[in-house]
Structure 1
Amino acid sequence: FDFAATTPVDPRVIEAMKPFWQESFGNAGALYEEGVRAKRAIEEARTRIARILSAKAPDVIFTGSGTEANNLAILGTMAAEAKRYQEIQMNDGKVTGSPYLRMHAITSTIEHPSVLECFRELERRGVSVTYLAPDAQGIISPEQVLQAITEETILISLMYANNEIGTLLPIPEIGRRIKLLRRERGWNLPYFHTDASQAPLYMNVAVERLSVDLMTVDAQKIYGPKGIGALYRRHNVSLAPVLFGGHQEGNLRPSTENVPLIVGFACALELASQGREREKERVAKLRMLFIRLIKEKIPEAVLNGDVKQALPNIVNISVPGQDGEMLVLALDARGIAAATKTACAESSEKASHVILGLGKDRVYAESALRFSLGRGLVRRDIVLAVRILSDILARTKPTV
């Protein structure tokens, strides 16, 4: 029940990767046949991924994870713009301090830590950052975004699907409105980035439909291998590397390419795209059953997030008075894996920053539980999970 944290690798993906572990193990930077074969496999995988994203192959940049893709999108975009500002100042003979001091960016209070920490780093560099607060269901409106944009805004980063509560943001409409604003201004800023790591299994992630300039995807969320992600970057978006030491990925991501993981990523994304509607319908029925049983068996539980405008596989509840971490351990002892918050959050903080970001008290944030559904789970698993949780709660004294 924790498929939002990671997923098992699909056997078909494993088969696709196998030849590149031993038989075709060449370094893609080598000139001889084995290297050429590896390079060809990378470019074929890039093309396959681009096709699903409705993008051009050169606009897909492979990274070591979704977290790295977010870092490249956010820090790389701002670094490129800072360099441009600095060059303008030097040409004018008016160097007036750090170019970051003239820059503004926008994100939300409920983003993944890999996004929030990038913006905190930008603040340390002098960038002014606006953190948009969602409504009680986790929604941020296009109007909120537009009202926050200033003449200094360089980048807006908002996740497509929240990894803790599953709420979907109106990314296509926000992107469309940003494009209209840019057209009115006659300028290509601000850029719009979305972390779509949780989305491809259940949502269409075609970049033209979403109207985004940058988008993060992550193989481990779609039954692909861990350790490989990708960043879509529209061709005219300025981007600077955040790692140094090699020429790979258009000089934007230095490191010897991990050919088997790249091939596995392409295979996983294709399989996700092919089975998306069928799996979406199947999992949505399980989610609604889960919600109905929670309401019946555990009436004190409070649902977090939007029930309708959400991914079909995430159910997040709070049980006020309970300790979420203790409940996770009790569930684990009974064979049920759940989570209190994103696995990437600081372990020292018990409260979910997402639940706090909805405007709820700490009693809700510290008692939050996320159940995320996936392949292999069936109706009886849902019934059993709710029964076990109900039994644990009946035996557990409230902590407050």
Structure 2
Amino acid sequence: MKNIYLDYAAATPMDARVLKKMMPYLRGNFGNASSAHKFGAKNREVIEDARRIVAEQLGCRSSEIIFTSSGTEANNLALSGIMNNHGKRGHLVISSIEHKSIMAVANRLEQEGHKVTKLKVDRLGLVNLKELASVLDKGVTLVSIIYANNEIGTIQNIKVIADLIKRYKKHTNYPLLHIDACQAPGLIEINVNKLGVDLMTLNGAKIYGPKGVGVLYRDINVNLSPMILGGGQEMGMRSGTENVAAIVGFAEALKNAEQTRNINYKKILIIKNYLIKKLFSIIPKVVINADSLYMLPTIINVCMDNISSERLVLSLSKKGIYISSGSACAINEDIGSYVLRAIGLRGQEAESSVRISIGKHTTKHEIDVLVNALKTEYLRK
């Protein structure tokens, strides 16, 4: 039986057009972009072309694009780079449903002496704006909010959050606003000017591009302390020999995603609605976690009526159907999903919840096969 992949939020298959763009730099054009000779200089030009393409998609300057090795590294650079540049007594504000890479850095910064505030979210996963306003009154260095959550799919109203933060910018540039937008390209707005953000993280692995490459958009007026020192690549913000093939692939993937955004959004939403309808037809007590209009069409987090999520994921995996019980980046967590706890799920509710994440290649036939397999598991419980 053909494998059915329904874990697009963890990683997407590479688009054939992306691989084609990358191939010359995986084989013949292997020169170091930092070299003085022409063989390396050609690749330096290639990187700058890719930077320009990315900047065009985000509506920013090329000099505001920093290539990294992943979304996780970009998140680390954003938070540590801002907070460490601010001294030892900065104030970081995040939500309680951030990606693990944000949570981990926030915890370390707190240990180093910075103040960290974690905002509560409601049952839909939306940030409490009144609480945010109250915290901003006390002075804040950086606010970091996940734009579209990778586990439950909730989309935050970043423009409203940005407008709120701007009211508190008086005689300085602070507070700054960073968003983790790794799940957003090709689905929702990523123009940094329209969103009103100072920093933004993207990840090639989530946009049908290569793994091992990410981007941090950094407003030209924002001062950032680099984490990785060395040869001064990426305008001194991220030293190390550039992965030319991955950078080229990222630019191609982002361009493709944005060019087909409306088409793919509508197509995926049709599949999502079909999946939800089928689920309710076979499992009467199924619950869509954080179900609202403020959700990505690609992610459905469902509570499966007292069926162990771990058992369900493993059982479906044996049948060649791949879903997940949460974020792949928190695979070693043994206390359940902190995201599900943050939206109010407890005990059996959280332990029975799985994430089904679909993409542009998902078909109704694949959904039918999934639902039939879920029906079998439901009848066995």
How high is the TM-score relative to the length of structure 2?
0.96
User: What SS class does the counterpart of residue 158 from structure 1 fall into?
Assistant: strand
Deviation at 1:245, TM superposition (A): 2.1
Q: Tell me, in whole angstroms, the C-alpha distance in 2 between the residues paired with 1:137 and 1:151.
A: 27
**CA-to-aligned-CA distance 1:330-371 (integer Å, 9 cap, x gap):** 111122100011011142415111111101112222211000
2:83 pairs with 1:78? yes
3-state DSSP of counterpart to 1:138: coil
Q: Given the alignment, which residue of 359, 367, 371 partners 2:344?
A: 359
Q: Distance in 2 between matches of 1:300 and 1:350?
A: 24
* Equivalent of residue 68 in structure 2, options 57, 63, 69: 63
User: Could you list the per-position Cα deviations for residues 4-56 of structure 1 after superposition, in whole angstroms to 9, with x for gaps in the alignment?
Assistant: 00011101000001111122111000011111100000000000000000010
Greater Cα shift, 383-392 or 195-204: 383-392
Q: Which residue of 1 aligns with 2:313?
A: 328
Listed one character per residue, the Cα deviations across residues 162-181 of structure 1 (whole Å, up to 9, x for unaligned) are 00110100111101221232
Between the aligned partners of 1:30 and 1:150, the Cα distance in structure 2 is 49
**2:132 counterpart residue number:** 145
In structure 2, distance between residues paired with 1:362 and 1:250: 48
Choose from 250, 264, 271 the match for 1:286. 271
The residue matched to 1:231 in structure 2 has which SS?
Answer: strand
Residue pairs, 1:333-348, within 5 angstroms: 333-348=318-333
Which deviates more, 67-76 or 148-157? 148-157
Task: Map Cα deviations across residues 229-280 of structure 1 (whole Å, 9 max, x no partner).
Answer: 0000001111001122221011110110000000000000000011110010
Deviation digits for residues 141-181 of structure 1 (CA, Å, limit 9, x no counterpart) = 43332221144410100010000110100111101221232
* Structure 2 CA distance for aligned equivalents of residues 122 and 191 of structure 1: 16
Residue 114 of structure 1 aligns with which residue?
A: 101
Query: Is residue 267–residue 360 contact of structure 2 (8 Å, CA) maintained in 1?
Result: no
State the percentage of identical aligned residues.
39
Task: Verify the 8 A CA contact 2:120 2:128 in the aligned structure 1.
Answer: no
For 1:344 and 1:150, locate their aligned partners in 2 and report how far apart those are by CA, in whole Å: 33
- Structure 2 residue 372 is matched with structure 1 residue 387: yes
CA spacing shift, 1:387–1:350, aligned 2, 3 Å? farther
Q: 1:333 to 1:346 in 2, by over 3 A?
A: closer
Question: AA paired with 1:67?
Answer: T
What is the DSSP-based 3-state SS (H/G/I as helix, E as strand, rest coil) of the residue aligned with 1:215? Answer: strand
CA contact (8 A) 1:301 1:317 kept: yes
Instruction: Return the letter of the residue paired with 1:134.
Output: V
- Is contact 1:339–1:371 with CA below 8 Å preserved after alignment? yes
| Equivalent residue letter for 1:116 | M
Partner of 1:50: 55
Kept in 1, the 8 Å contact 2:50–2:248? The answer is: yes
1:106/1:153 contact within 8 Å kept: yes
SS of equivalent residue, structure 1 residue 181: coil
Which whole-Å CA distance do the structure 2 matches of 1:150 and 1:103 have between them? 14
- Bigger mean CA deviation after superposition, 138-147 or 366-375: 138-147
1:227-306 pair list within 5 angstroms: 227-306=212-291
Q: Secondary structure at the match of 2:141?
A: strand
Q: Is the 8 A contact 1:198 1:221 kept in 2?
A: yes
Distance of 1:142 and 1:247 partners within structure 2: 39
Larger mean Cα displacement after TM superposition, 144-153 or 162-171: 144-153
Query: Any stretches of 5+ residues in structure 1 without a counterpart?
Result: 83-99
Between stretches 136-145 and 201-210, larger displacement belongs to 136-145
1:33 matched to 2:33? The reply is no
Contact 1:350–1:366 (CA<8 Å) still a contact in 2?
A: no
Question: Alpha-carbon deviations, 1:51-101, whole Å to 9, x = none?
Answer: 00001000000000000000000011101111xxxxxxxxxxxxxxxxx2x
Preserved contact between residue 141 and residue 170 of structure 1 (Cα < 8 Å): no
- Which aligned runs of 4 or more in structure 1 are off by greater than 3 angstroms? none
What amino acid is the match of 1:274? Q
Find the aligned partners of 2:119 and 2:128 in 1 and give their Cα distance. 10
Out of 112, 116, 130, the residue aligned to residue 117 of structure 2 is 130
5+ residue gaps, structure 2, are: 1-5
Secondary structure, aligned partner of 2:330: coil
What TM-score does the superposition give when structure 1 sets the normalisation length?
0.92
Question: What's the counterpart of residue 363 of structure 2?
Answer: 378
How far, CA to CA, are the matches of 1:351 and 1:364 in structure 2? 11
Tell me, in whole angstroms, the C-alpha distance in 2 between the residues paired with 1:262 and 1:62. 7
Alpha-carbon distance, 1:291 to partner: 1.1
* RMSD value, Cα: 1.2
Matched position secondary structure for 1:384: helix
Aligned residue for 2:164? 177
Structure 2: how far apart are the matches of 1:382 and 1:391? Answer: 14
Task: State the one-letter code of the partner of 1:224.
Answer: G
Work out the CA distance in 1 between the residues paired with 2:284 and 2:98.
Answer: 29
- Of residues 117, 139, 153, the one that matches 1:166 is 153
Question: What is the rounded CA distance, in whole Å, between the counterparts of 1:4 and 1:131 in structure 2?
Answer: 24
Contact 1:103 1:152 in 2 (8 A): no
Residue 219 of structure 1 contacts residue 229 of structure 1 at CA under 8 Å; is this kept in 2? Answer: yes
Maintained 8 Å contact 2:91/2:114: yes
2:201 is aligned with 1:216:
yes
Q: Give the counterpart letter for 2:246 in structure 1.
A: L
